[in-house]
């Protein structure tokens, strides 16, 4: 049960861990947009290079990052394969033919690019969740969205709800663990294959779990009341988020990468651009 912790934070001391979560979020957004502009193999390689550098700087073992991709690897392979077999190119002659499928060289290229793009799209968010705690991300998001308060969107309250939810998930998992153990000790079997039986077997866990969740919610509300919590108005932070020169530098650097990709993509200066880069 314990393995499904939300957020897969990997504690380490690195500049990526220390970076301001707001900047990390903005960079992630910029990065995701940029990935959609990549079109040539060169630009994919270019992006991948910088992603790998980020992983290296974060000091998270590379295997750990790959583990985060476990979930999507199947989707990735299937979509790539489908793209490859169903790709049609009227101008080209197929490399091979089998039943209704025709394989084109451009189809192979397209499928590789699609897979690569998906991989890039998932890699960076994985790095983000590995290097920042859910709370940090929540605070960062609240701070970034705070201009929306002007149009009466309760950003603070939403962020609070989110951070309470995130905070309680591990607690509830622990609670589930405990209750399951208690019922197992009374001989309950949760291993049945029949889904109806399974749901019925879960009842002795779900009821106490809900009871305890409500009890916790009540306690929390009381605790907040007794500390005079009144919402966002006039509230200051204990941990004030501060950004450093490094954060700004990283953001500028990623802007530069975006610009490079745009140049590569739209070929604004012709292929001279590559020679400008010195490649």
Partner 1 sequence: MIDVRKLSFVYSPKTPFTTQALFDIDLKIETGDFFGIIGSTGAGKSTLVSHFNALTRIQKNSGTILIDDIDLSAKKLDLKKLRAKVGMVFQYPEHQLFDDTVEKDVMFGPKNLGLSVDEQRERAKQAIGLVGLNYNDMAERSPFELSGGQKRRVAIAGVLAMRPEILVLDEPTAGLDPIGKREIMELILNAKNMCPTVVMISHNMDEIAAYCNKIAVLGNGRITGVFEPKELFGSEALLARCGVELPLVTELAVKLSRAGLDIDRSILDEDELVRAILDLRSENNA
Q: Cβ contacts of residue 62 below 8 Å, gap of 6+?
A: 55
The answer to whether the beta carbons of residues 84 and 103 sit under 8 Å apart is yes
Note whether 26 binds partner 1 by CB under 8 A. Answer: no
Site for partner 1 (CB under 8 A): how many residues?
22
Least Å distance between CB 56 and partner 1?
Answer: 18
CA angle 50, 120, 24 (to 5 degrees): 60
Note whether 59 binds partner 1 by CB under 8 A. Answer: no
Q: If DSSP states are collapsed to H, E and C, what string results for 164-226?
A: HHHHHHHHHHHHHHHHHHHHHHCCCCCCCCCHHHHHHHHHHHHHHHHHHHHHHHHHHHHHHHH
| Pick 165 or 182: Cβ nearer partner 1 | 182
| Pick 153 or 203: Cβ nearer partner 1 | 203
* Binding track, positions 204-243, relative to partner 1; x by CB under 8 A: xx-xx--xx-------------------------------
Note whether 30 binds partner 1 by CB under 8 A. Answer: no
| Pick 10 or 263: Cβ nearer partner 1 | 10
Distances (CA, A) of 208 to 213, 215, 218: 8, 10, 15
Note whether 38 binds partner 1 by CB under 8 A. Answer: no
Dihedral pair phi/psi, residue 103, rounded to 5°: -105, 125
Least Å distance between CB 206 and partner 1?
Answer: 8
* Binding track, positions 170-209, relative to partner 1; x by CB under 8 A: --------xx-xxxxxxxxx-------------xxx-xx-
Length of the chain: 279
The residue ranges that bind partner 1 (CB under 8 A) are 2, 10-12, 178-179, 181-189, 203-205, 207-208, 211-212
């Amino acid at each position: 049960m314990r393995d499904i912790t939300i957020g897969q934070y990997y504690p380490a001391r690195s500049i990526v861990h220390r970076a301001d979560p707001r900047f990390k979020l903005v960079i992630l957004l910029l990065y995701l947009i940029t990935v959609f502009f990549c079109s040539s193999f060169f630009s994919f390689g270019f992006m991948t290079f910088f992603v790998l550098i980020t992983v290296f700087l974060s000091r998270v073992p590379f295997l750990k990052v790959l583990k985060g991709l476990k979930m999507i690897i199947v989707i990735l392979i299937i979509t790539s394969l489908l793209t490859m077999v169903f790709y049609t190119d009227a101008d080209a002659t197929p490399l091979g033919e089998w039943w209704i499928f025709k394989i084109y060289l451009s189809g192979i290229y397209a499928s590789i690019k699609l897979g690569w793009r998906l991989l890039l799209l998932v890699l960076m968010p994985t790095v983000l969740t590995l290097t920042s705690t859910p709370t940090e991300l929540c605070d960062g998001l609240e701070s970034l969205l705070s201009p929306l308060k002007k149009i009466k969107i309760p950003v603070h309250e939403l962020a609070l709800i989110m951070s309470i939810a995130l905070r309680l998930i591990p607690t509830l998992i622990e609670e589930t663990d405990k209750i399951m153990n208690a019922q197992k000790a009374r001989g309950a079997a949760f291993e049945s294959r029949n889904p109806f039986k399974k749901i019925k077997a879960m009842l002795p866990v779900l009821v106490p779990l809900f009871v305890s969740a409500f009890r916790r919610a009540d306690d929390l509300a009381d605790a907040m009341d007794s500390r005079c919590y009144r919402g966002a108005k006039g509230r200051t932070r204990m941990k004030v988020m501060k950004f450093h020169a490094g954060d700004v530098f990283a953001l500028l650097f990623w802007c530069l990468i975006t610009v490079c990709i745009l140049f590569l993509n739209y070929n604004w200066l012709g292929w001279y651009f590559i020679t400008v880069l010195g490649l």
